[in-house]
């Protein structure tokens, strides 16, 4: 297969775009496309301060690399979750993230969940939510809370995450199966600032997971290849596999599923609920906006887990 730009040997073929590219042109194409999506969805400008949530994985490190190459003001935030799983998962991903930042002279903020809250993620899961189950719900809650807190405390305009199209399509698939209207309304490349929370953006949301892995590999980015030990058997992985089977038989299906959803929403398929129903108030515990009465779900989790012994 030949590169469409130069006729050289292609390293990747993207049937959904009817495009094959060589290494050099692929490494130029992907940031160009990212720039196009940042502008198209009005994510941020070069005058704004961007905080990139980095996990040590291929997507978030590549995102940071791309924003840096494009000349954006992008600092990193690493949240140390304290997950070991027999593979030293958190320690190794932190090491790779710190190495990445140091080699490029980038600013990285590190938040240690145990130092902040007294427990690691698996310990919080054990202490609060039906102990033996997966800590993913607790993990999501804590990460969201810490990202919002750091963005607000350090004055970032926007929070960027490395979600790719496969991530987004899997979430969309799950929300559609459940007809979770509230979530469908909020899912997208940009979540506008609400109640003092920084705007959230997903600049990679139109790239296939395979494209992001190819970028990381071709750029020589060292990322954590091991899976989070808790992700085995996750529903999101199952949905990704189902969508990839569709993609295999009908190239472009994943992309169309996501883009047609965005278009349908823009055209008004999903109605906003009334102002009263979506009213936010500051949580009496942490001050972050919440729609729940009283404490936010993060503070309720902390309250519930604080007294129990691990």
Whichever of 61 and 299 has its CB closer to Zn ion, that residue is: 299
Nearest distance from C-beta of residue 242 to other proteins, angstroms: 11
CA distance 188 to 168: 8
Strand pairing of 12-14 and 19-21? antiparallel
Cβ-contact 146, 111 below 8 angstroms: yes
CA distance 103 to 82: 24
Q: Kindly provide the b/e burial profile for residues 78-108, where b requires at least 16 CB atoms within 10 angstroms of the residue's own CB.
A: bbbbbbeeeeebbeebbebbbebbeeeebeb
Residue 245 near which of Zn ion, other proteins, none (CB within 5-8 Å, type-dependent): other proteins
CA distance 253 to 250: 6
Number of residues that bind other proteins (CB under 8 A): 36
Whichever of 57 and 305 has its CB closer to other proteins, that residue is: 57
| 195: contact with Zn ion by CB under 5 A | no
Whichever of 23 and 95 has its CB closer to other proteins, that residue is: 23
Q: Retrieve residue 304's tokens.
A: 């519930």
| 197: contact with Zn ion by CB under 5 A | no
Q: Binding mask 21-60 vs other proteins (x if CB under 8 A, - otherwise)?
A: --x---------------------------------xxx-
Centroid of chain to Cα 78: 12
Residue 217 near which of Zn ion, other proteins, none (CB within 5-8 Å, type-dependent): other proteins
> Which residues would be at the binding site for other proteins (CB under 8 A)?
1, 10-13, 20, 23, 57-59, 136, 166-167, 208-210, 212-214, 217-218, 225, 227-228, 230-232, 234, 236-237, 240-241, 244-245, 247-248
């Amino acid at each position: 297969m030949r590169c469409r730009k130069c006729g050289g040997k292609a390293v990747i073929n993207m049937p959904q775009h009817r495009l094959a590219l060589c290494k050099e042109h692929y490494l130029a194409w992907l940031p160009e496309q990212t720039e196009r999506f940042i502008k198209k969805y009005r994510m941020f400008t070069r005058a704004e301060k961007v905080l990139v949530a980095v996990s040590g994985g291929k997507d978030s490190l590549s995102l940071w690399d791309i924003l840096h190459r494009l000349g954006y003001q992008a600092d990193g935030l690493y949240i140390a979750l304290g997950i070991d799983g027999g593979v030293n998962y958190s320690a190794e991903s932190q090491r790779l993230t710190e190495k990445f930042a140091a080699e490029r002279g980038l600013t990285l903020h590190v938040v240690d969940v145990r130092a902040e809250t007294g427990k690691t993620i698996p310990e919080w899961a054990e202490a609060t939510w039906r102990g033996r189950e997966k800590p993913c719900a607790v993990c999501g809650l804590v990460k969201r809370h810490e990202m919002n807190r750091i963005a607000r405390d350090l004055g970032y305009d926007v929070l960027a995450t490395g979600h790719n199209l496969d991530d987004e399509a899997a979430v969309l698939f799950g929300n559609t199966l459940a007809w979770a209207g509230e979530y469908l309304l909020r899912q997208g490349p940009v979540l506008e600032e609400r109640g003092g929370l920084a705007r959230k953006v997903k600049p990679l949301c139109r790239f296939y997971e395979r494209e992001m892995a190819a970028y990381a590999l071709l750029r020589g980015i060292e990322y954590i290849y091991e899976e989070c030990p808790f992700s085995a058997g996750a529903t999101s992985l199952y949905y990704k596999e189902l969508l990839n089977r569709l993609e295999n038989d009908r190239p472009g299906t994943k992309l169309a599923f996501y883009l047609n959803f965005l278009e349908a929403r823009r055209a008004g398929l999903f109605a906003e609920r009334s102002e009263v129903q979506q009213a936010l108030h500051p949580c009496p515990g942490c001050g972050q906006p919440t729609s729940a009465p009283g404490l936010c779900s993060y503070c309720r989790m902390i309250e519930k887990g604080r007294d129990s012994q691990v």
